[in-house]
Amino acid sequence: MQVETFEQLKQKALQQFKEGKSIFRKGGAFAPLVRSVVEAALEAEMDVHLNQSERALGNKRNGKKNKTIKSSDGAFLIETPQDRHSTFAPQIVKKRQTIIADSMQETIIKLYGAAASLPDISKHIEDIYTAEISHTLLSQITDRVTG
């Protein structure tokens, strides 16, 4: 069995998405990429967290920690970024959270794919999941996922 590269999986996911097929469930191209998307989102959240004022206080990245997350596609290991002052509070996968809200990531990607604006996506996520995600963070998430 041949292992697909990240770029091949990305192209397969885009094709399935355009065809209206599920890219998130079993058999979907996105299933193997869940880890990559979650880690990219966490990195984007850390980038937003470590703004100029945080850095002025001496806060900076301080390695990564392994965490096992359960999703509809099974359990997988992710690396969560840490900051020196331990003030980083991610929203995509919160501290002590072990089950990922598959529907949240699916919603973000679907709304983005449907050309919804970042403010609309942010409002939608806040209404449904009671999680505040800034437009800057959403932009960084979608840039990391699609870039």
One-letter-per-residue 3-state SS of the chain: CCCCCHHHHHHHHHHHHHCCCCCCCCCCCCHHHHHHHHHHHHHHHHHHHCCHHHHHCCCCEEEEEEEEEEECCEEEEEEEEEECCCCCCCCCCCCCCCECCHHHHHHHHHHHHCCCCHHHHHHHHHHHHCCCCCHHHHHHHHHHHHC
pLDDT band of residue 1 (cuts 50, 70, 90) is very low
Q: Which residue range is the domain that position 60 belongs to?
A: 6-146
Q: Which residues contact 71 (CB under 8 A, 6 or more apart)?
A: 34, 99, 100, 102
**pLDDT (tens digit per residue) in 27-46:** 666 655 677 778 888 898 89
Rounded to the nearest integer, the mean pLDDT of the chain is 77
Q: Does residue 3 or residue 23 have the better pLDDT?
A: 23
Cβ distance 104 to 122 under 8 Å?
Answer: no
> Domain total for the chain?
1
Res 25: pLDDT = 59
**pLDDT (tens digit per residue) in 44-87:** 889 999 999 999 999 999 999 999 877 655 567 789 999 999 99
Instruction: Give the gyration radius of the chain's Cα atoms.
Output: 16
Res 82: pLDDT = 96
66 lies in a domain? yes
56 lies in a domain? yes
Predicted TM-score (pTM) of this structure: 0.55
1 lies in a domain? no
Res 113: pLDDT = 74
